[in-house]
Structure formats: structure tokens, C-alpha cells
Structure 1
Amino acid sequence: MIGHLAYAAGSPCPTLVLDAGRLPRDEEALLRALSEVRAYLTAAGGGHVLKTALVRPSEHPMFDLDYRFVQALPQAPDSFDLRGSCGHSILSAVVAAERAGTLPKLTPGDRIRVNVLNNGDSVVCEVDGTDRDELHFTVYFVRPGSVPLKELLLTGAPRTELAAGAGTGTGTAGCEVSLVSSGNAYAFVDARDLGVGDPGELFAAGPELFERLAALREAAAGLLGWPARGAFPKIAAVLPVASSLIAARALSVPSWHPTIALTGAVCLGTAAQIPGTVPWRVAQETGHVDGLLDIVTPGGRTAVTAAIDPADGEPALMWAAVARKRVTFQGSFVLEPLAHLQFEGIAKCLALSAVSI
């Protein structure tokens, strides 16, 4: 079986893209196969590749690709989380699908519609430009119908108090977070509640702040009934900076995120539109009202637009977009542990050709 590697700028690692049509549909068998792949990559020096995208031509007539994201977890070689999605990996999957011939050659203006099987998201990847090994995109997370903003609150409230770190010395007991789901599920916390008062301090913070955020993330997962040591919900600390500019620092797996996840930018931009949430209060301090929100991270800046439908007096999210995303195709290689799956595909093809003679 052929594996493809692509890297979306700002992601913690490249994404391994595999043809879902050649993999088992049964989840237990699929995870066994992915465990073999992970061991193979690690032995070859690719242990840092913790993101896998499974793609195939969509079975739905409204989409080009069906996409499933798998996050490898650090605690064990056979440990994975299939609960959420990854925007950077979606873009990597689109680029790899073009190189594999699943999609036609992409040109500026093309739009690839991706059906995210993990959470039902609809994502449109619009090609802004192409290079030899790079493509540039604007990414739209499109709702099939406007979704009332209040329905994006995972606890039904704009802020929720978490009792993480009680008795552990982490100092996070009684900290308020906003649990919002848009693109991915996130817990947002005001960095000032953790004793961090400015962006420079936030970006320079080390293990102590990391552990405090990790404790809050685990508490949020427990509250939602999700695995405490999984990847979701994700978490980010935010601060006001300047006019419509906020600072954010997020956790990834298994360390700090170098920038912010594409889905994190989408979720943050959406949360900033929901009155009473932590991001909304922080954004209000910068004078932000609606439209474009700028986000500064340790690895640079990004911008997100969340389009809100105010119809019927019930604000609702229509779509959110992040522009200027760059993806580099890094190459293809044979995955020896899954070679038998390639042979099965060849055998089926030969069997069909024999019948047609």
C-alpha cells in the first residue's frame, strides 16, 4: 500500500494520508492496521508523524472526498483518538489525493468539498495558488444550515467552572472555561486566570503552564464523558492584544502547538461571537464586534472570519473561513505492513478483467 506525506504550515507534524478504500472498514481491524503502520514509521524515523488522514472518493454526491482523521496518542503505540478532526490534515489529504490521482490536477479557483466523517463537518478547500510542491488554500467550514450559536456550547452555558488541579498544586481549581464546538471541541481559558498577563509571557511559558492547561483539559474531558487521556476537547489560553487582535496558545499532542490548529482558529473565531464566553469577553476588550478576527500565536499570525446570520433574533453560524494556508507535498512510499492490501486490490482488478474477456 502507498502512503503519502504532506505538511500544512503551522501544523505540529506532517500528515500520513492513506487510501481508505484499501483499509478495513471494521474499526478494530482498522486500528490494528494503523498500529502496524505506526510501528513501521517509528522504526524508519517517523515517530513524530502522529496524524493520519483516511480518504476516498465520496459516497455522497455533494462531496468530492470522504475524510476520516485519526490522531495517534503518545501513551501507547496502539493508542488512537478518532473523535475529532484536523483542518491541517484535511488540506494535506486534498493535496495527497491530487498526487495519487484521486482528484484531478488542482488549479487556482478550484473548490474541493470534503465530508468529515468524524463529526459531520462540511469543509470547502478553495485553491488560491499552486507551485511545484506547494498549494495555497482558503478553507471554509460550512454549515448545511445556520446553527444557533447557543447550540455550539457543549455545556449549554457560555462559561463553565472546572475544578482541575484541586490538591495537586497546579493552581487551576475553580477556573472558568468556555466549552465550544465548531470545527473541533475546545476549552478556552483566559490566561490571566492562570497568572499570565501578557502575550510575551504566554508564549515563553514552559512546563508549569503546560501542566496546568493539561489538567484543565482532562477535567473538561471528564465533564463531557470523554477519555481523559484522549486528544479532545483541545484547549487554548487567550489574551487581548490590540484592535481585533487576540493572543492564543494551545496544546497539541503531545506538546505545545507551534501555532494554532486550523480548527482551533475556526472555533476561537466562532466563540468570540458568542456573548458571555471567555473568547467573547477577551475580544470585546480589543474592540472586536464582528467580521475578521486576528490571532497571534508563538508561530505567527492567522485570521478567521465567522459569518453570523442574525435572522429571527437568534444569531446563528453560517460558515467560518481561514485564509492563506500553505501545504507542501513531501512524498510517497510503500508501507510494507499493508502491502497485502495492495495485492488484494490488484487481485480484484485482475479478476474483473478476466470476467470481461
Structure 2
Amino acid sequence: MIGHLAYAAGSPCPTIVLDSSRLPQDTAKLLESLTEVRRYLAAAGGAHVLKFALMEPSEHPMFDLDYRFVQALPGGPDRFDLRGSCGHSILSAVLAAERAGVLPKLTAGQRIRVNVLNNGDSVVCEVDGVDRDEVQFTVYFVRPDAVPVTRLLLTGEPATELTVDGERHEVSLVSSGNAYVFVDARSLGLRDHGELFSADAALFDRLSRIRVAAAGLLDWPAEGAFPKVAAIMPMEAGRIAARAISVPRWHPTIALTGAVCLGSAIQVPGTIPWRVAHEMGCVDGLIDIATPGGDTAVTAATADRDGGPALLWAAAGRKRVTFQGSFLLEPLAYLHFEEIAQCLAETAMSS
């Protein structure tokens, strides 16, 4: 088995990309294989690689690539979360698929259509530019049918109250690209984006506890990676400050799916992102999400359906991905022998 490493700028770590057609299809056996990969990576100094992208050519006529995301969790090499997706890893999978010969050579203007098996998302990766080992993308999360924005609300309401250690917190639970808990940073006592970006352990702990409370409300595993959490607040017109948690630390920027979810949540009346956008006088069009590690541009398109807004697509731009190389994964080398044996068997039958 050959592993490919790619890094999307702004991601907390590189993604290891594997050809899913060569991996076990049974979930339990698949996770056993990925556990061996994690041990192998850790021994080679790659314990920080916590994102797995499993890809193969899609048999569906509307897609080029089938993609499945697996989030590795801290606490042991056999701990994973298969619930959500990762936009940065989607882009890593596209670039690695090209380098592996699964996709044709990427060129500016090309669009790669990805079928996200984790949650059914349809993602279009448009190539903006190619420069040696780096590719720039704009990424569109496209809805096959317009979805009423109220259906993005995980609790059915734009704002939900959580009680954490006896303290009440108002949050918005929204799912678009991934499930997110959004909280107004000012409700946590932060006065401006400078304080938001500089706050460290105490804020991390508060947001982590809010995330765990939201997971409990949704009846999701508290120790998992989803829902994710982000604190937001207004900046100048057209810009929203955000700080998000990844696994197991602060996200250096914001997940691509987090940007998409925030852009979508701005279109849902009454949510905390909607309120922040209205406060800035910026409801429609492109929004810049400012983070400690840089800005991400995001926009969401809606149409009127049955008297209310419905989400058509959401997009994030300025995404850069660098291919870091390919290598033999020795723990999974036996999978190649199975492949060779199958080829030899077919050859024997035809002779």
C-alpha cells in the first residue's frame, strides 16, 4: 500500500491519503488497518498526522472521486471518529489522486467533483492555479436540491441554551459541511478580536466544555471530534473574527468545512452568525473570516423556496494545497500481495 501526504494551508496537520479500493471494506477491519498505519507513522515521527482521506474513482456518473474521511483521535492509535468530514482533506485527496494517476493532470479551470461518503455532500473543487507541487482551489459545497436553511439547525431552533458547570451559554448548532457549535465570543467576556486571538488555556477549556455539552445534547460521543466549536465576533464591515478548536488543540485558522458552515449559518435567521453579520450590516455576498492564522473568503447562495430562504451552495476560496510525497506503508504491504495473487489467478484462468 502506498500512502500519499498532502498539506492544505491552514490545516492543523497534513492528511495521509490512501486508495480505499485497496483497503478492507468492513469497518472493523478497516480501522484495524488504519491503527497499524498510525503506529507506523508514529514510529517514523508522524504522530501528528491525524487526518486520513480514503479515495477512489467514483462509479457514480456525476462524480470523479469517492472520498471518505477518518479523523484520528488522541489517546491511542486505535481511536477514530468517522462521523464528519474535512474540507482540507478533500483537497489533499484530490491532489494525491492526481499524483497517483487516479485523476488526470490538474489544470487551471478544471473542476473535480467529489462524493463525500461520510455525509452525502457534493463538493466541487475548482482549480485556480497550479505551481509545481502546489495547487490553489476554490471549493463549492453544492446542494443537489435547495435545502430550507431551517433544516441546517441541529436542534430545530436558531439558538439553544446549554448549561455548562452551572453557567448558561447561548449557542447555535448548525450543520453544513460539518456540524458546528457557534458561540458569540463577547458572551465569554472577550471585548475584541485581539483578545479572542490571544486567549489561550482558559478559553480553550471553556469552549471544549461547551462542545462536550453540545455533543451530549445531540447524543453524540463526548470524546469524539464532532460537533466542532468556534467562537465568533464582528470586526470591520465584511469581516468576522473566528477561533475554532480542532483535535486536540486550537485550529491554526478555521476548517474549510467550518468556513462553509459559518457562511451557511449567516443565512439562517436568528442564529448567532446571522446576528453578527446583521450587526456589521453585511448579510449578502462575500464574507472574510479572520483567524489567528489568516483569512478565509466564504460565501453562500440562497433562493426563496416556499416563502423562506433555501441554501443552494456555499464556497470557500484561497485554498492552497502542497503535495509532500508518497511512501510505502510497510504494515499494509500484504495488500499488494493479495492484488498480485488475484491478477495471477485471472491470468491462469485465461491461459
Question: TM-score over 0.5 for the alignment?
Answer: yes
Q: Which of structure 1's runs of 4+ aligned residues deviate more than 4 A?
A: none
Between the aligned partners of 1:151 and 1:297, the Cα distance in structure 2 is 28
Task: Report whether the alignment pairs 1:115 with 2:109.
Answer: no
Q: What runs of 5+ residues in structure 1 fail to find an aligned partner?
A: 167-172
Task: Report whether the alignment pairs 1:194 with 2:177.
Answer: no
Deviation string, structure 1 residues 211-268 (Cα, Å, up to 9, x no partner): 0000000000010010001000000000000112110000000000000000000000
Please state how far the C-alpha of 1:312 moved relative to its aligned partner: 3.0
Secondary structure at 1:354 match in 2: helix
Whether the aligned pair in 2 keeps the contact of 1:149 and 1:315 (CA below 8 Å) is yes
Between the aligned partners of 2:125 and 2:54, the Cα distance in structure 1 is 17
Task: Report whether the alignment pairs 1:175 with 2:199.
Answer: no
Q: Aligned runs of 1:209-224 on 2, under 5 Å?
A: 209-224=203-218
Please state how far the C-alpha of 1:323 moved relative to its aligned partner: 1.1
Between the aligned partners of 2:144 and 2:165, the Cα distance in structure 1 is 39
Task: Report whether the alignment pairs 1:320 with 2:314.
Answer: yes
Secondary structure at 1:155 match in 2: coil
**Counterpart for residue 329 of structure 1:** 323
Secondary structure at 1:315 match in 2: strand
Whether the aligned pair in 2 keeps the contact of 1:127 and 1:136 (CA below 8 Å) is yes
Q: Kindly tell me the number of residue pairs found equivalent between the two proteins.
A: 351
Please state how far the C-alpha of 1:343 moved relative to its aligned partner: 1.4
**Counterpart for residue 270 of structure 2:** 276
Task: Report whether the alignment pairs 1:131 with 2:109.
Answer: no
RMSD: 0.8
Please state how far the C-alpha of 1:76 moved relative to its aligned partner: 1.9
Please state how far the C-alpha of 1:349 moved relative to its aligned partner: 2.0
TM-score of the aligned structures, taking structure 2 as reference length: 0.99
Whether the aligned pair in 1 keeps the contact of 2:15 and 2:52 (CA below 8 Å) is yes
Task: Report whether the alignment pairs 1:295 with 2:289.
Answer: yes
Q: What runs of 5+ residues in structure 2 fail to find an aligned partner?
A: none
Secondary structure at 1:202 match in 2: helix
Task: Report whether the alignment pairs 1:105 with 2:105.
Answer: yes
Which letter maps to 1:25? Q
Between the aligned partners of 1:111 and 1:289, the Cα distance in structure 2 is 28
Q: Percent identity?
A: 74
Whether the aligned pair in 1 keeps the contact of 2:299 and 2:316 (CA below 8 Å) is yes
Task: Report whether the alignment pairs 1:146 with 2:146.
Answer: yes
Between the aligned partners of 2:250 and 2:333, the Cα distance in structure 1 is 35
Which letter maps to 2:213? A
Secondary structure at 2:273 match in 1: helix
Please state how far the C-alpha of 1:347 moved relative to its aligned partner: 1.8
Whether the aligned pair in 2 keeps the contact of 1:180 and 1:187 (CA below 8 Å) is yes
Deviation string, structure 1 residues 118-173 (Cα, Å, up to 9, x no partner): 0000000011111110111110000010000000000000000011233xxxxxx2
Between the aligned partners of 1:164 and 1:74, the Cα distance in structure 2 is 23
Please state how far the C-alpha of 1:94 moved relative to its aligned partner: 0.3
Q: 2:254 aligns with which of 260, 269, 279?
A: 260
Please state how far the C-alpha of 1:289 moved relative to its aligned partner: 1.9
Please state how far the C-alpha of 1:353 moved relative to its aligned partner: 2.9
Please state how far the C-alpha of 1:292 moved relative to its aligned partner: 0.8
Secondary structure at 1:101 match in 2: coil
Secondary structure at 2:306 match in 1: helix
Secondary structure at 1:242 match in 2: coil
Task: Report whether the alignment pairs 1:76 with 2:76.
Answer: yes
Task: Report whether the alignment pairs 1:15 with 2:15.
Answer: yes
Whether the aligned pair in 2 keeps the contact of 1:165 and 1:216 (CA below 8 Å) is no
TM-score of the aligned structures, taking structure 1 as reference length: 0.97
**Counterpart for residue 241 of structure 1:** 235
